[in-house]
């Protein structure tokens, strides 16, 4: 008896994602199971992800990973396809907080679902125990003059504005008024005077931290960076600051230009297999959506939300990075998404 080959036989699945979300052995297993080829491209910042996906309206990729705060602008620009959970059966194995997608801000619009949660982490502060008599308690430690030249920052626009807004006690760090934006830029310029080192990927952050004997690092990748440093026997600590820690929830989304949406759905379902999600946590230190994490009730976690103007934050960050930002007298333009 002859069987027809799967409809996607010989096809290529094009994935745009973050390091650790599509390991070579996972990709090889998926290719064997579905008789396809998989091309994986990696990004190291939200700005880079937007640049790649917005350039050709997402047509160069079939599936990508983005956090819930960023996802809304992809939805607004009609880059993301609507999803049906019944096409991704492993969602039934997720924890209730991730299975109830109607209650997750950022992944729905007008009653439609656009993404499936995969992994998440808070963004705490990593410190060198040898350089602290007692653990720091606030992100304000990044501004202490005794640590000039010994701090490490994530080289991305959006999160740096939000974390700085938290240190200024701004109630909503994602929606800054003109006055709040001016204050945030001024404080970021003061942070630039600390002569920080910058990173984009977790691996780069670990190398930079150890090579330069850094005192403090804003951990954009949270537990992923913590695990990598601990595996190298670094004498470090990790805190959730008193202001609270920003936290991201990364989800899989399919582009409207995906060549085979069914195959892309198969990839999402594959990453929600217990073996794959558990391997993610074991290898990267990142929580998965199937098993409870180590976060405690006392930890103040602030889930990322869309900002008032992504483009403006990027523009200011580029100038702050160069040490020469000045804010405009104009009120920030509302985002179009």
Number of other residues whose CB lies within 10 A of the CB of residue 317: 21
**Predicted local distance difference test score (pLDDT) of residue 301:** 84
DSSP 216: E
Longest dimension (CA), the chain: 76
pLDDT of residue 299: 73
Helices (H), 86-177: 96-99, 157-167
In this structure, the number of other CB atoms found within 10 A of the CB of residue 234 comes to 15
Three-class SS string for 47-97? HHHHHHHHHCCCCCCCEEEEEHHHHHHHHHCCCECCECHHHCHHHHHCCHH
Best CA proximity match to 35, nearest among 15, 67, 13:
13
Q: Which pLDDT does position 324 carry in this prediction?
A: 61
CB contact at 8 A, 123 and 220: yes
**pLDDT for position 187:** 97
Render pLDDT for 292-328 as a digit per residue (tens, 0 to 9).
Answer: 887 666 678 888 888 999 899 999 999 999 876 554 4
- In angstroms and rounded to an integer, the radius of gyration of the C-alpha atoms of the chain is 20
3-43 pLDDT per residue, tens: 344 554 579 999 999 999 999 999 999 999 999 999 999 99
Residue 331's pLDDT is 43
Average pLDDT per run of 10 along the chain, which is 337 residues long? 47 96 98 97 93 91 95 94 96 93 91 96 95 96 97 93 96 96 96 96 96 97 92 95 93 96 98 97 94 75 88 93 60 40
Q: What is the pLDDT of residue 332?
A: 42
pLDDT of residue 105: 83
Question: Which residues 6+ apart lie within 8 Å of 4 measured at CB?
Answer: none
């Amino acid at each position: 008896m002859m069987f027809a080959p799967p409809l996607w036989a010989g096809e290529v699945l094009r994935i745009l994602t973050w390091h650790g979300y599509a390991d070579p052995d996972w990709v090889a297993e998926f290719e064997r199971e579905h008789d396809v080829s998989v091309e994986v491209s990696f990004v190291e910042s939200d700005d880079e992800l937007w640049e790649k996906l917005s350039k050709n309206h997402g047509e160069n990729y079939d599936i990508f990973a983005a956090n819930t705060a960023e996802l809304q602008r992809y939805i607004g620009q009609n880059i993301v396809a609507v999803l049906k959970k019944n096409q991704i059966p492993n969602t039934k194995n997720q924890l209730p907080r991730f299975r109830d997608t109607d209650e997750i801000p950022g992944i729905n619009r007008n009653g439609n679902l656009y993404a499936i949660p995969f992994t998440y982490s808070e963004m705490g502060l990593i410190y060198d125990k040898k350089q602290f008599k007692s653990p720091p308690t606030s992100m304000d430690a990044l501004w202490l003059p005794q640590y000039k030249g010994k701090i490490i920052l994530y080289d991305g626009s959006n999160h740096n504005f939000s974390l700085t807004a938290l240190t200024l006690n701004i109630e909503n760090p994602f929606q800054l008024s003109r006055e709040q934006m001016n204050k945030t830029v001024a404080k970021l310029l003061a942070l630039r005077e600390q002569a920080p080192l910058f990173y984009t990927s977790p691996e780069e952050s670990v190398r930079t931290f150890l090579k330069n004997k850094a005192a403090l690092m804003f951990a954009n990748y949270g537990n992923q960076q913590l695990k990598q440093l601990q595996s190298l026997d670094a004498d470090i600590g990790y805190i959730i600051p008193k202001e609270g820690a920003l936290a991201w929830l990364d989800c899989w989304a399919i582009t409207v230009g995906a060549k085979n949406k069914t195959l892309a759905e198969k990839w999402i379902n594959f990453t929600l297999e217990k073996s794959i999600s558990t391997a993610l946590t074991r290898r990267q230190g990142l929580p998965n959506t199937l098993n409870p994490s180590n976060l405690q009730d006392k930890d103040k976690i602030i889930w990322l939300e869309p900002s008032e103007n992504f483009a403006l934050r990027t523009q200011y960050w580029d100038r702050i990075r160069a040490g020469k930002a000045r804010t405009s007298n104009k009120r920030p333009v509302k985002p179009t998404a």
